[in-house]
Chain A
């Protein structure tokens, strides 16, 4: 079904593209939020990726790999938008996750801490973590999607996790120091 839609859209069928875009927009937006940690920029990145998808669809080599190709376009859009954010804006809108089920206080604390840790990473580091831990892409699939060697994928994953761990530990030390300051 999707293959047929992609094929039709590739030949300029806007209706088919509308169906494809409608089916992908929530997924793309969710991923863009995870990478950019900013709702407004995630909207921009999603729109940008969809426009690029329409424009470049005739060049899609294999219609069966539409999803992977779309992720690649989204990553590019996130990267471009992240770059312009660094140039033009100092602050970002912090995400507040609103899970469907109520959380325990410790879970919320963990989540906030993780959020702070993720914000300390680069867009490229968050991208690799999202694609591996959320989309479940293996290093070989990541290499193909991001067009980088498998070795680079593995080292980026390793460094991203190390950076996240270091950020969380620094955050924890800061919290402990703050608590000790209050009790003193």
Chain B
């Protein structure tokens, strides 16, 4: 026992003596020089969705002006007295947005089924799927997590969608979601329906989260690097949660 503590003590002492060393000045200088040539990675989807919002706003303004112009034209140049009644033109209603259209134009055309996490989800063309290879035990999900199905834009670190599921061991939806996000800067959870089940939508600094439970299994969906709630809820609307499929056939993109 004493030997064990001696070894630990010696190790701490060695590390502490090594921790006193200062880095040569060139280390900081070279690092800062190198950063001068490196651009920071920004969230692509957040940027594009903001750009898209600008275009959408402009389009909405154009439509409003057009409606007013048509109404004025009808009012000013209305049917002449005694003349033949002209059929009043009816405004064509604006076509409803396609269910899979997104502000960023990212249609959810592809489908992925995960046998590790027991779910199916749709995602945009051109995004890569990195299927989960092992079960999730509850640690924080990242883009590199082997327990998460990660769907990301090719050739880019962000944004990405990460999906994972685990047994909750009796925890409720709210207990689980608040524990998972403890320490994060997030808005209050909002109710959300995921594949017909009660869920929670939470907006955090780093992106959007959806939590849902099926029996004792918790499902997490995380859109990293975007605050586009509209698009995220479209992704969530495609989710099918099927815990009974866990351990079944291998994942299929």
Closest chain A CB from B93 CB (angstroms) = 41
Please encode chain A, from 13 to 56, with 1 for each CB lying within 8 Å of some chain B CB and 0 for all others: 01001100110011111110110000000010011001100111
Q: A34-B18, A143-B139 are in contact. Are A58 and B43 (CB under 8 A)?
A: yes
Whether a CB of chain B sits under 8 angstroms from the CB of A87 is no
Which of B31-39, B61-69, B82-90, B229-237 lies at the binding interface?
B31-39
Chain A, interface size: which category? Answer: 35 or more
Cα separation A52 to B251 with both chains bound (whole Å): 32
Cα separation A150 to B142 with both chains bound (whole Å): 16
7 contacts between A and B (CB under 8 A): A26-B22, A43-B27, A50-B32, A54-B35, A55-B40, A97-B17, A147-B145
Cα separation A14 to B10 with both chains bound (whole Å): 40
Closest 10 CB pairs of A and B: A29-B23, A61-B206, A50-B31, A134-B15, A54-B35, A30-B19, A47-B31, A99-B17, A25-B28, A25-B23
B41 and A58: CB pair below 8 A?
yes
A147 and B142: CB pair below 8 A?
yes
Chain B, interface size: which category? Answer: 35 or more
B21 and A33: CB pair below 8 A?
yes
B205 and A61: CB pair below 8 A?
yes
Which B residues lie at the A interface, using CB under 8 A?
Answer: 7-8, 10-12, 14-24, 26-28, 30-32, 34-36, 38-43, 137, 139-140, 142, 144-145, 157-158, 183-185, 204-206, 224-225
- Give the residues from 118 to 152 in chain A that come closer than 8 angstroms, CB to CB, to chain B: 118, 129-130, 133-134, 143-144, 147-151
12 more CB-based (< 8 A) A-B contacts, given A26-B22, A47-B34, A97-B14: A21-B28, A21-B31, A29-B21, A29-B27, A33-B18, A34-B19, A50-B28, A51-B38, A59-B206, A59-B225, A61-B184, A168-B7
B39 surroundings in chain A (CB, below 8 A): 55
A46 and B158: CB pair below 8 A?
no
Which of A78-86, A107-115, A175-183 lies at the binding interface?
A107-115
B21 surroundings in chain A (CB, below 8 A): 26, 29-30, 33
